[in-house]
Structure formats: C-alpha cells, structure tokens
Amino acid sequence: MKNVDNQLASEIVIFGALGDLSRRKLLPSLYQLQLAGLLSDQTRIIAVARNDMALKEFKQLIKDSLQEFIDETLDAQVVASFLEKLVYQHLDFKDIKAYKQLAKTLSSGQGARLYYYSTPPAIYGDISEGLQASNLINANDRVVMEKPIGHCLESSKVINDQVSRYFAENQIYRIDHYLGKETVLNLLVLRFANSLFTNNWDRNSIDHVQITVAESVGIEGRWGFYDEAGQMRDMVQNHLLQVLSLLAMEPPAELCADSVRDEKLKVIKALKPITRQNVKDKTVRGQYTDGFLNGVPVPGYLNEEGAKANSSTETFVAIKAEIDNWRWAGVPFYLRTGKRMPQKQSEIVVHFKQQAHNIFSESYADLPANKLTIRLQPDEGVELDMMNKIPGIASQMQIQENKLDLSFSQAYDNQRVVDAYERLLLEVLRGDQSLFVRRDEVEAAWQWADSIIDAWQSTNEAPKSYAAGSWGPVSSIALIARDDRQWVE
C-alpha cells in the first residue's frame, strides 16, 4: 500500500472522552484492538473531557461502558491491561492556555500521536489552536475529525481551514464510519475482483440501482443535535454518497488512498444537480409520526423527548440521483434512508437489464431481470437472483427464479463482524488514509446536498408524514413508480 505513514501512533488522545460516541464506540473498539493484540504495550490512551474526575472513577465508568456496549463476554485480563492504558485529563477545550496542562500529561517522546476530535465540529479549530499553542503538534501526528463536518459547504470550509492551519492534509483523517464496514469494503472486491461484475457494471447492463439505509431507531436522546441536521446532513451528505461513489466509481489504478479518493470524487462531482426547478420530481422528505415497531407503540418525531413543536426537520429522504457520465447516463440511483423504519436494513440492489429476447416464453412469459443484492447490514452477504431450470422429467423446460446466496456468517463460520470503528482506528494508528474522506470529497458532497436543501427551503413545504414503523411517506413510492419501478422490500 502507498500513502502510508508506517509509524504506529503510540498515544491516543480522545477529546470528548465522556461523550456518547467515545463511550459507545471508541473505547469499546480500542478494547477490541487490545484483545486482538493490535495495540502495542507502549500505547497510552489519554481521555480528555471537561469534568474534573478522578482517574479511578473514570476507569470505573469505562469498565461499565465496555460491559454495556460490547456484546461478547469481556476478558477480565484484557480489561485490566486496557484500563492500565487509560489516563484522564480534564480540560476546557476552548481555553487555549489550559493546554499546557495537557502537555504535562502527554509524553515528551518522539512517538506519533493520534488526536481524536469526538466533540461538536464547531470546536475542532479551538482544539487545534490549543494544541499548537502548547507545541503539541508534530509532523507525524494525526487528527481524526468526526462527521458531519459543518452544516453546509461554507461552514465545512471554515472548519477545514481552521484545522488545516495546524495539520497538513496527510495528517487529517475525516471519518465516515460506513467506509470501515466490512460489507462496504467488500464493494471493491465484488466489483474489481470478479470479472463477471467488472465487465457488466455500466449503462449497457444495468437498468437502475437502489440504495436503502433504513434504521428502526428514532432520535435516541439526540433531538437537539439531530433537529439542526436532519437526515440529509446526518446520513445522505456523508454515508450514502460515500457508498454511492464506491459503487459507481471507475476502477482506481491502484488500491491506495489518493487513487480511490480521486475516483470517488469524480462520481460526486458528476452527480446531476437537483435544484429548485426539479426538486419536487427528484426528492421526497418525510418526518415520522406516532406508530408501532414490532407491535410496540413509539412516539412520533415531534413527541420524542426534548422535542420542540412544529419542527420541519426531515427524518426520511428519498432521492432519484443521476450520474452524468459515460458509464451511468440514463441509469438512476434511487437513494432512501430514514429513522423509525420497520427494521434496520441497509442494502444495495443492482437491477440488471432484462434479456432482449425470450426463448422460454412458452413456460415463462416475462423473464425477470437478474438482481444483485448486497446486504450491508445486518445479515451481511451478497445475493444474486437468477433463472434456473426446475429439475425433472415431466416437462422439458420449466424454469423458475432462484437465488445464489452468499451469507458471510455461514461462509466465514460465524466470524465476529468487526465494528467499523475498530478498523478505522487501526488504520489511523497505522497511518493509512485509504478509508478516510479527503477535503475535496467532503466539499463536493456538500455542494450537491446544499442545492437540495436550498431547494427544499425555497418551497417551504412541510415534510410528508409517515407512521413510525412504515417504509416512509407514500410519495416515496410514487417517486420510483413514476419510472415504472418499485422499491425492493
């Protein structure tokens, strides 16, 4: 692999260590890396947060978090050695002078540091400035920035500019945890290690593509944060566009960070703009109302804890996206994502074109087209719908549609699915940027998303309602039905 800084980082500094992401994902992932023997004996984890807390109390809190957020039984010895790595430092991230205190906690050795900004993006600049003011940034240190970076193109530029004042682009790791999912990584293998797909991956063979990222959860106590963002900024601008770009990009010349990022960027830049003129035809935004999930009543968005009345923030988005290039001209990519849908289900369905001529019309009048389903989560796997002869003597040529199903849990003997954050943290420790998003990608994605948000704002229309536990507003069915197609459910 190229573009790799081979110096393993030896200090991991988490800003916002008492926050939700840190307790639910980052520290449990670091425990898993320790369990797998992937953290060196020298690695220290410096947890930085606002509260003044004794180290003993902090360690107990993290032990409880590991128990709460890791499904498997914990290994007591590994927990003990993991907790030994922890150091706690309280700090107000906006107080630039206070970083001197952090400097005393960090080692003065030459080892690379990993700074993880698990805080609201608005203070990424303050933290970077504080680190610099106390001479805590060296050329081989790395910084991880959580998404969404900003609220729009302009604010993302401000944040990126602030951080870039102190860190070079090859030190900045913009995380999009979908890029660390096994099944998203597998898109590269599926597309570029199987000539069957490599050679049939374009407008000549593919009719259309559906990408669904459905979540059954609601806002989960994050109403204030979420209401400022909405599903477009929280999911589409980042996760869905990253998945779409991996799915649609040209083959990268090699498997290195910039080669892959160059190709992803071209896809995002080639997305046809959705503007005030066509937004009604190309998008649907929805908001869930009271409903039922698995028979249990759940509140609507406006009845969630902490909700304010009359918010018009969307919790569901459907988009007919089109990529203006030779490969994909005329092939729509229908995107759909929402909260409080019937189940957690993220998948890509690639609909191939129908056979031009049907020689089996006597037994099967309307030959269905092949369909490739890539199950991102849960029940990770790949499934191909294809036609097959029904074995038997009675009739010569009875045929039916069947599935080739590669379920990863069966194929790989129920091997544990590695959490995306485990992989991504390891990649930063190793200094490999391949699975992180470059600044120009983030900005191109904002440009496309901003135009849609602007068009929605100009129409001033309330989002369409859908009952919690349903697949979204009726108009999302109409969006695809207008093209004589339907969502796969």
Ligand X SMILES: O=C1O[C@H](COP(=O)(O)O)[C@@H](O)[C@H](O)[C@H]1O
Ligand Y SMILES: NC(=O)C1=CN([C@@H]2O[C@H](COP(=O)(O)OP(=O)(O)OC[C@H]3O[C@@H](n4cnc5c(N)ncnc54)[C@H](OP(=O)(O)O)[C@@H]3O)[C@@H](O)[C@H]2O)C=CC1
- Give the residues lining the site for ligand X (CB under 6 A): 215, 234
50 is in an annotated binding site: yes
**Least Å distance between CB 21 and ligand X?**
9
Q: Biggest alpha carbon distance in the chain? A: 86
How many alpha carbons fall within 13 Å on the CB side of residue 56? 0
Q: CA torsion, points 164, 167, 169, 170, in degrees to nearest 10? A: 180
How many alpha carbons fall within 13 Å on the CB side of residue 329? 2
Rounded distance, CA 346 to CA 164, Å?
34
Nearer to ligand Y, 49 or 187 (CB): 49
280 is in an annotated binding site: no
Rounded distance, CA 341 to CA 324, Å?
31
Q: Does residue 232 belong to the site contacting ligand Y (CB under 6 A)?
A: no
Three-state secondary structure of 82-137: HHHCEEEEECCCCCHHHHHHHHHHCCCCCCCEEEEECCCHHHHHHHHHHHHHCCCC
357 is in an annotated binding site: no
Rounded distance, CA 204 to CA 162, Å?
45
202 is in an annotated binding site: no
Q: Among ligand X, ligand Y, none, what binds residue 215 when CB lies within 5 to 8 Å by partner kind?
A: ligand X
Q: Among ligand X, ligand Y, none, what binds residue 234 when CB lies within 5 to 8 Å by partner kind?
A: ligand X
Task: Please give the residue whose beta carbon sits closest to ligand Y in the complex.
Answer: 19
Nearer to ligand X, 11 or 234 (CB): 234
208 is in an annotated binding site: no
**Least Å distance between CB 122 and ligand Y?**
9
Q: Does residue 93 belong to the site contacting ligand Y (CB under 6 A)?
A: yes
Burial tier of 72 (Cβ tally within 10 Å: 0-12, 13-18, 19+) = exposed
Q: Which region, judged by CB under 6 A, interacts with ligand Y, from 13-21, 37-45, 313-321, 416-424?
A: 13-21
147 is in an annotated binding site: yes
Q: Does residue 172 belong to the site contacting ligand Y (CB under 6 A)?
A: no
Q: Among ligand X, ligand Y, none, what binds residue 92 when CB lies within 5 to 8 Å by partner kind?
A: ligand Y
Residues 6+ apart with CB under 8 A from 391: none
Nearer to ligand Y, 75 or 228 (CB): 228
Q: Which helix (DSSP H) or strand (DSSP E) does residue 154 occupy?
A: helix 153-164
**Least Å distance between CB 88 and ligand X?**
26
Binding ligand Y (rule: CB under 6 A), the pick from 141, 146, 207, 427 is 146
**Least Å distance between CB 215 and ligand X?**
5
Q: Return the CA Rg of the chain.
A: 24
Rounded distance, CA 196 to CA 290, Å?
46
Rounded distance, CA 385 to CA 370, Å?
5
Q: CA torsion, points 31, 35, 39, 45, in degrees to nearest 10? A: 20
Only one residue has tokens 């190793």, namely 430
Q: Among ligand Y, ligand X, none, what binds residue 94 when CB lies within 5 to 8 Å by partner kind?
A: ligand Y
Residue 357 designated active-site: no
Nearer to ligand X, 323 or 424 (CB): 424
Using CB under 6 A as the binding rule, the residues of this chain from 50 to 79 that contact ligand Y are: 50
Binding residues: 50, 92-93, 147, 177, 181, 215, 234, 339, 344
**Catalytic center residues:** 239
Binding site for ligand Y (CB under 6 A): 16, 18-22, 49-50, 92-94, 118-121, 123, 146-147
Binding residues for NADP(+): 50, 92-93, 147
